[in-house]
Amino acid sequence: MKVLVTGGLGFIGSHTVVSLLENGYEVVIVDNLYNSKMDALDGIEKITGTRPKFYKLDCTSVSDMDELFKNEHFDAIINFAGYKAVGESVKLPLNYYQNNLDICFALFRAMEKYDVRNFVFSSSATVYGLPDRVPLTEDSPVKDATSPYGETKVMIERILKDMAFIHKERNIAILRYFNPIGAHKSGLLGEDPNGIPNNLLPYINKVAVGVLKELSVYGNDYETVDGTGVRDYIHVVDLARGHVLALRKLETNPGLVIYNLGTGKGTSVLEVIHAYEEATGVKIPYKFAPRRAGDVPINYAATEKAENELGFKCLYDIKDACLDGYNFQKAELERQKEKEEKKVVKTL
Ligand code: UD1
């Protein structure tokens, strides 16, 4: 089975490519390198022994997608391409709506023209908005998202549902991710956002390696176990495996299916800090700060549907994820230092 992975050099995309290759799929990657690096392709090759075909293309381009689909005959698409910074999306809503929707429009048009029947969409638990109750099942109401980024997920889910209604021959998996963290054990793939990270674990990683001084814990007066926000943190390697299982499901012609991908366990910010410290032996200095706008107090997944219908079960826990994330961050810092040193030697 030949699979197009858009955004395949990004954090979740690159780990999914590894999982697909390990399970015998043929993979073609498209990425415009907006928020990713070619190093990820080298990492994928080192881990799997295979260097998948790579196209540097922008998925918003209808003509480029047309050309690509004409030359390659895909059996399935997994779409990771898209902007994903929540805060930035509030400042640049038009960019987010246009980019994330245009990517899907170009892919859907190409799917129609070249009769590609299987599509996996990376959605987010953000579509549940402020939950009425937890754990969140796939039947929990989809609400207005708290950011334009989240709203693009809601909109694209809606479009997919409308398409599935009329195209019964098509199979679509909407995967709602909870909080993906961690990195590949090799230290070759992981998440290293430019600038100051918005998300918790990338921030903690930078504190752990000494790049940032201390963590701000946003809010300690929520109605949760210790007052700090509770989330469902899933190891990215588990999440990646979820995509392979979703593709297998699509091979049974189920039409449109929706699954949560999470662990089913809620962990507070303070619990994350303690797990990180225990796993790595590194102390994480922190201070309490006001609540962050748009944050929900608590969310975690109901996992029964994914377990029963996909056979999906997480193999890693929060400590595994913290350790793998830390090791990746250390290795990445070394790689960057080496690159800088090489640059200096060249200019001397
Ligand atoms: C956000 C997005 C989600 C996206 C995910 C990517 C929303 C509402 N959430 O999730 O769609 O998929 O990022 O991983 O759109 N925290 C701190 N200090 C920090 C950073 C975070 O205390 O410096 C706290 C937050 O208040 C929250 C928890 O850590 O309680 C997790 O935050 P974060 O990692 O940013 O993820 P979410 O906001 O849950």
Q: What is the pLDDT of residues 212-240, one digit of tens each?
A: 999 999 999 999 999 999 999 999 999 99
Name which residue sits closest to atom 11 of ligand 1, judged by CA.
Answer: 126
Q: Which of 8, 42, 43 is nearest to 25 (CA)?
A: 8
SS3 state at 253: coil
% of the chain at pLDDT higher than 70: 100
Structure-block tokens of residue 185: 């054990």
pLDDT at 194: 82
Residue 344 has a CB neighbour count (10 Å cut-off) of: 9
| CA of residue 64 to ligand 1 center, whole Å | 34
What is the C-alpha separation between 148 and 153, in angstroms, rounded?
9
Cβ distance 270 to 217 under 8 Å?
Answer: yes
Cβ distance 33 to 97 under 8 Å?
Answer: no
Model confidence pTM above 0.95: yes
Average pLDDT along the chain? 97
| CA of residue 200 to ligand 1 center, whole Å | 6
What ligand 1 atom has the least distance to the C-alpha of 294? 8
Residue 134 above 90 pLDDT? Answer: yes
The residues annotated as belonging to the active site are 149
Q: Which of 146, 174, 12 is nearest to 89 (CA)?
A: 146
For ligand 1, mutation pick of 89, 127, 154, 179 (most atoms within 8 Å of CB): 179
Ligand 1 binding pocket, CB closer than 6 Å: 86, 124, 126, 146-147, 150, 179-180, 198-200, 203, 215-218, 229, 231, 269, 292, 294-295
What ligand 1 atom has the least distance to the C-alpha of 230? 30
pLDDT at 285: 98
Residue 348 above 80 pLDDT? Answer: no
Which pLDDT tens digit goes with each residue over 241-284?
999 999 999 999 999 999 999 999 999 999 999 999 999 999 99
| Strand blocks (E) in the chain | 2-6, 26-31, 53-56, 76-79, 118-124, 171-177, 179-181, 215-218, 230-231, 233-235, 256-261, 267-268, 286-289
